[in-house]
Structure 1
């Protein structure tokens, strides 16, 4: 009996070790999904298909990776807000074009859509530090353009994009005027136990109790909860309360952490919003919320600047 129990324990231990080794080796493939099942890496459509005014923009990240982006304008002469949009972890920027088309109509803004490294037509392989470099390259490009009002650059991130957006906003207080987060997680460490429940015994962040002995193996922790409290710009939190992927209390925790240090935080929930469709489920209320936030925190500041001597023309 003792021998049998020893064999059983060794067997279970071996399975756990093998599973952990596999997780360590394949974690990037779990966090980053540039190709959706059954689809190809290429773009299924382009902005031209939706008759949008756009240009292909090629950037080079600070470590030499070549990146593809779309810069989409509301109108040829639009100098209103420019939204730097960071997508979720799965698929590519083409899968967000319909949402961006509506965004242009509702907000009268420009939108810059970045393909992270390894996504769409961009080169390289995704990683946390790599994507942070990519986001910085996109912001630096926008900041140097002469056809937009660079005082009205707004970062908008959904899910993983919110984690990306929080970092680039925190790192660039002089270039980003405001931040919008939608259905974003506190950290990948916390999400590990949500997606694979057995991992909560080994990996965890601020929302996870118990030992976290394997946190050190996670190469893309994306700890938004540690970043958000350092963001000084106005922040809008958009939370779908039926989010089936990221528990909605993650957004509650991010807001609570940010509000301690930043009085210009706004939290709005959408009772029927799920992870990917909050902008649909929220209807007019969703877009009115975003538009009001921009008017109060971005356009108002820009108008004050214009009255002080800048006569640039908005497309509002």
Structure 2
């Protein structure tokens, strides 16, 4: 009996040690995938291929990393909403261009696409600390532009991009007018247990069970579940119920956590939406949902309203 228990303990210990070794060695490769298998790091197409009006933008993050972005406009003097788009973990911004083309057509908006460090033409290597700086650099750039309405900057994040966007919105309540999250995880800590189920007893976010004794191993926790309750701006949650990568329950938990503190939250489900194609599977309903969100929570200022504000300012 003693030998059986010892063997069991050794077995469990071996599994835990193997899990720890995998996390230490390969976690960045699981969280960040700048190059898709069989493809190169370079862009397969540019917005010009889709006849989109765009500008190459080069930025420096606060730690000096050189970043590449595309700023795509609906038309040259468009004063509609500007969507700051944060992509998923795999591939680069070129792989999202077809979706962005339709977004611009349907929403009559501008779109700013950031290549995270280590992705596309950007320098450096991805990390949570670094990408947080990259996102801030993109927002600061947009906030200083004179050719857009800087009061109508909306952050849109899908999957990893949702974690990036939620943190940026929380940190910049005066610069971000609204937040759109699609198929976003509660945290990388919880996703570790999804990818390697035996780890869920040892790794998890603040809302999960278990001792969480291995959390210290995660270098990019992206704990959106702890951030989302601090976001004050209006939020719309877009959840594909056939998501094969992030369990849809993660989006439900994020919404519940946010709605407990923020009355301006909307949760919309798309029954046939998968992780990458919810925008396509959702069809008109998907785009109408976002349009209604923008119309209600990020409305265009009336001309007489802006004149009234100007007169008030001049009278002070």
TM-score by length of 2: 0.93
For the residue of structure 2 that corresponds to 1:208, the secondary structure is: coil
Q: Is the 8 A contact 1:159 1:182 kept in 2?
A: yes
Q: Please give the root-mean-square deviation of Cα atoms over the aligned residues, in Å.
A: 1.9
CA distance in 2, matches of 1:121, 1:101: 21
Aligned to 2:64: 64
Deviations 1:48-81 (CA, angstroms, capped at 9, x unpaired) = 1101000110000000100000000001111111
Q: How does 1:116-131 map to 2 (within 5 A)?
A: 116-131=116-131
**Structure 1 residue 11 displacement after superposition:** 6.8
Aligned to 2:76: 76
CA 1:261–1:39 in structure 2 vs 1: closer, same or farther (change >3 Å)? same
Q: Is the 8 A contact 1:151 1:302 kept in 2?
A: no
Aligned to 1:209: 209
Aligned to 1:31: 31
CA distance in 2, matches of 1:302, 1:260: 32
For the residue of structure 1 that corresponds to 2:85, the secondary structure is: strand
CA distance in 2, matches of 1:303, 1:221: 45
Aligned to 2:266: 266
CA distance in 2, matches of 1:289, 1:91: 27
Aligned to 2:22: 22
CA distance in 2, matches of 1:90, 1:302: 40
For the residue of structure 2 that corresponds to 1:119, the secondary structure is: coil
> Do residues 48 (structure 1) and 48 (structure 2) align?
yes
**Structure 1 residue 196 displacement after superposition:** 1.1
**Structure 1 residue 216 displacement after superposition:** 1.1
Deviations 1:111-165 (CA, angstroms, capped at 9, x unpaired) = 0000000000000000001000000000000000111010110000000000000
**Structure 1 residue 308 displacement after superposition:** 2.8
Q: Is the 8 A contact 2:23 2:218 kept in 1?
A: no
CA distance in 2, matches of 1:21, 1:278: 35
Q: Is the 8 A contact 2:154 2:177 kept in 1?
A: yes
Gap regions ≥5 residues in structure 2: 311-316
Aligned to 2:176: 176
Q: How does 1:76-115 map to 2 (within 5 A)?
A: 76-115=76-115
**Structure 1 residue 307 displacement after superposition:** 5.3
Aligned to 1:313: none
Q: How does 1:198-277 map to 2 (within 5 A)?
A: 198-277=198-277
Q: How does 1:187-198 map to 2 (within 5 A)?
A: 187-198=187-198
